Chain A
Amino acid sequence: MNVIKVGMADLNVAKSPDRIRTTGLGSCVGVVLFDNQNKIGGMAHVMLPDSSLSKGMLNVAKYADTAIPKLIENMEKAGANRRKLVAKLAGGAQMFAFSTTSDTMRIGPRNVEACKQALNEAGIPILAEDTGGNCGRTIELDSCTGILNIRTVNQGVKEL
């Protein structure tokens, strides 16, 4: 069994029995897709909501609206069935309690909204989520069971 690592603004696909993991999600959102029939899991570490604001070379994995279609495409290439995919979300926290409500500081909730919208457009149901709050998360998906492990500093480990 290998643990496949997903970096910041990155996405990847894992087949059973491998696991796939990303560390230190703050305002970023970890989007996890899973095909239970073919035992294929995918993960994207989304950093920003909207790719139309990108300047220069576009890294599709960075934005919610481009990362999710790309992840679906990569999973289909790996043998997943698009119609069987289900999603789980984690992250989108607000790490600092600023008194201002500027858009940059509200980036976590905006990332979560954008991910939900992209999943909705792709017709993928969201089974569970652990989003918002003010703590960092490390997540790991078991591509055999579809169980998502979420570790935080103060609340230990939980499963989705």
Chain B
Amino acid sequence: MKFEQFGDFQLDVLREVGNIGAGNAATALSKLISKEIDMKVPQVKIIPFDEIADFVGGAESLVVCVFLRVLGNIPGNMFFIISVESAKNLLHELMGIINQDEESFNEMELSALNEIGNILTGSYLSSLADFTKLNMQPSPPAVAIDMAGAILSYGLLEIGHNGDFALTIDTAFFHGNEKISGHFFLIPDPTALPQLFHALGVPLE
């Protein structure tokens, strides 16, 4: 599967995929914290590996990330990414935890963030599975707080053998004054795309 053969129509369909998935996840987040969550228009990009972390401020920027591998008909990698500040605000909203430490989180806080990521990405993926009637099974989630480049490169290992480009579906969300903001980031494996397009009735030529 070559990404170059995708036209505007295919990319539009993937944008809609991001819209449905992240829309449901944003609704789930909104219910979790009883606050309004807004969403930006999903960005679908075919980017060289090197630019994978640019959308969160570069390879060295510190992010909180929940990662899970998606198995089934549409294999791929899913990331829920928020800033350290957003993570603290989220913990405060949800559990009343006030964390005044500069950059570290304790085990309880990490576990809570992992679970939030799990609920939200679960909602993203199950809405996609419903919509496409395809089978999608998320792996258990794992959380990390580190440099964006170091974390996101994990999402490139599967596709690394096929080339130097990744197709990414990025949807940003935020609450009001951006006290809580972040991204849902999906990197489908190249083998997933024909299946996905087929399920949605999108011709590939």
Contact = CB atoms under 8 A, between A and B. Distances in A.
* Chain A bound to chain B: yes
B10 to A, nearest CB: 20
Interface string A2-35: 0000011110000000000001111110000000
Task: Please tell me the size bucket of the interface on A.
Answer: 35 or more
Interface of B: 48-50, 52-53, 58-60, 62, 67, 69, 103-104, 139-140, 142-151, 153-154, 156-158, 160-164
Interface string A93-115: 10111111000100100000000
Contacts of A7: 48-50
B59 A28 contact: no
B22 to A, nearest CB: 22
B62 A153 contact: yes
A154 B103 contact: yes
A81 interface: no
18 contacts: A7-B49, A9-B49, A9-B160, A24-B148, A26-B146, A26-B150, A26-B154, A27-B150, A47-B49, A47-B153, A47-B157, A48-B160, A62-B160, A95-B150, A95-B151, A135-B146, A136-B147, A154-B103
A48 to B, nearest CB: 5
Interface stretch (A51-59, A68-76, A122-130, A141-149): A51-59
Q: What's the dominant secondary structure at chain B's contact region?
A: mixed
Given A26-B150, A47-B160, A48-B157, A10 B142 contact: no
Interface of A: 7-10, 23-28, 47-48, 53-57, 59, 62, 93, 95-100, 104, 107, 134-138, 153-154
Interface centre among A8, A9, A27, A59, by most chain B C-beta atoms within 10 angstroms, is A8
Contact of B161 (A55, A93, A98, A138): A55
Contacts of B156: 8, 47
Contacts of B49: 7-9, 47
